[in-house]
Amino acid sequence: MIARPSWQRVWDAFNEWRDFEVNDYYPETAYYSLDEGRTLTQDAYRKWLKEMEEIYLPDRLAKCEKFTLSLEEFRSDVGVTDYGSSVVEIVEGTMRAAKETKESIAGVLDASSQFRIAVIDENVRESEEWYNVLVTREENIRKLITAISAGLNKIDELLRS
């Protein structure tokens, strides 16, 4: 049975981040679509873009960072002799995926800023280009989160055996 508080902190941080992604962040991303964005007034759309850049994306990045730090703490708390090298390898792979996710979220923040500028400038071509960058990066982040979840489940399974 797992008695490590650091492992519980990993799960708590991941669940907090995942809940934010599902309940707070993902619903807001619909307006990145130029078609959906047109359902808002121009002022409301600009306000939404600014909130994404100043509130939602920094919150998302902070939750990912909290998770990454808790995973690093767990890694330093777990030795090869505790559970075996396979657990350590999966933890380290999950840490790499978390760090890549953190970098990708920072990239979404940059792309969102460029998208906002293009929208304000009413540059449709650039808006479409940045929208495509956002979509690609978001797809990558979602794949990474899925891989992280699978890694955590595998670690949990190994720790419990």
Q: Is the pTM of this model over 0.85?
A: yes
- Per the structure, the count of domains in the chain is 1
Tokens of 15: 């669940």
The answer to the question of residue 139 being in a domain is yes
Position 81 scores a pLDDT of: 63
Residue 79 lies in a domain: no
* Average pLDDT of span 118-123: 90
Residue 40 lies in a domain: yes
Residue 31 belongs to some domain of the structure: yes
Q: Which structural domain range is residue 38 located in?
A: 5-74+84-160
Note the pLDDT tens digit of each residue in 42-51. Answer: 889 889 999 9
Per-residue pLDDT reduced to its tens digit, 56-113: 999 999 999 999 999 999 998 887 666 777 888 999 999 999 999 999 999 999 999 9
